[in-house]
């Protein structure tokens, strides 16, 4: 009986395999599978057209303050939304207010942003002018812009992720979607 108990004890000690490893493991991230870049034309009943990716779906803005031609491009795979809001321009005063609002809304992210860069958008042959705001850091929106013809039309866009803004986590997807926003701006036309 002694030998039996001793052999069970030896087997149990040998099975333990030594001290457990309690060191922290590196943080893992989900694998992101990007869809193929294919575009389609948006030409609904609004006074503008542009190309947007086939993996994005356009839905009318359903907020209670939404106006006609306010659209959201949903990127369900990436949990992101590009909000587009169109305003007809009726006076120089209103035009200046819309430009100032775009600036204020972009710089509202200064609290969390590490930097905000502005780039001019100018396609004089199509009468498209505007500013593209690149917002770096853990801000709620990382890309915003406005487009105008300076007389009758104004469109503002803002890209938001529907999750906690952590730049290190969303950076690969943000880079991917910014190319789509750039394509949208480059193919944008007023009707």
If one compares 7 and 179, the residue with the highest pLDDT of the two is 179
71 to 1, 60, 92, 124, 134: CA distances (angstroms): 81, 4, 25, 25, 21
Give the torsion sign (CA, 190, 108, 118, 74). Answer: negative
Q: Name the residue among 95, 94, 181 with its Cα closest to residue 144.
A: 181
CA dihedral 159, 179, 151, 160 (to 10 degrees): 0
pLDDT exceeds 80 at position 50: yes
pLDDT tens figures, 88-114? 999 999 999 999 999 898 888 777 778
Cα 91 from chain centre: 32
CATH topology of domain 45-190: Protein Transport Mog1p; Chain A (3.40.1000)
Q: What is the mean pLDDT of the chain?
A: 89
If one compares 70 and 141, the residue with the highest pLDDT of the two is 70
pLDDT tens figures, 52-88? 999 999 999 998 888 989 999 999 999 999 999 999 9
Q: Which residues contact 101 (CB under 8 A, 6 or more apart)?
A: 156
Paired strand residues for 154: 87, 148
**Residues comprising the chain, all counted:** 191
79 to 56, 70, 72, 149, 164: CA distances (angstroms): 11, 19, 13, 31, 11
């Amino acid at each position: 009986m002694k030998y039996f108990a001793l052999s069970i004890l030896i087997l149990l000690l040998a099975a333990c395999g030594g001290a457990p490893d309690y060191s922290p493991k590196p943080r893992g991230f989900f694998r992101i599978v990007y869809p193929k870049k294919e575009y389609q034309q948006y030409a609904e009943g609004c006074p503008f057209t542009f190309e947007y990716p086939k993996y994005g779906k356009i839905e009318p803005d359903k907020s209670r303050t939404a106006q006609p031609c306010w659209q959201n491009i949903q990127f369900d795979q990436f949990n992101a939304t590009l909000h587009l809001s169109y305003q007809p321009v009726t006076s120089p005063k209103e035009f200046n207010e819309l430009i100032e609002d775009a600036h204020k809304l972009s710089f509202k992210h200064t609290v969390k942003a590490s930097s905000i860069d502005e780039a001019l958008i100018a396609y004089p042959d199509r009468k498209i002018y505007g500013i593209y705001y690149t917002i770096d850091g853990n801000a709620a929106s990382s890309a915003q812009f406005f487009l105008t013809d300076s007389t009758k039309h104004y469109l503002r866009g803002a890209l938001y992720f529907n999750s906690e803004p952590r730049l290190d986590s969303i950076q690969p997807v943000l880079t991917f979607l910014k190319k789509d926003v750039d394509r949208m701006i480059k193919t944008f036309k007023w009707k």
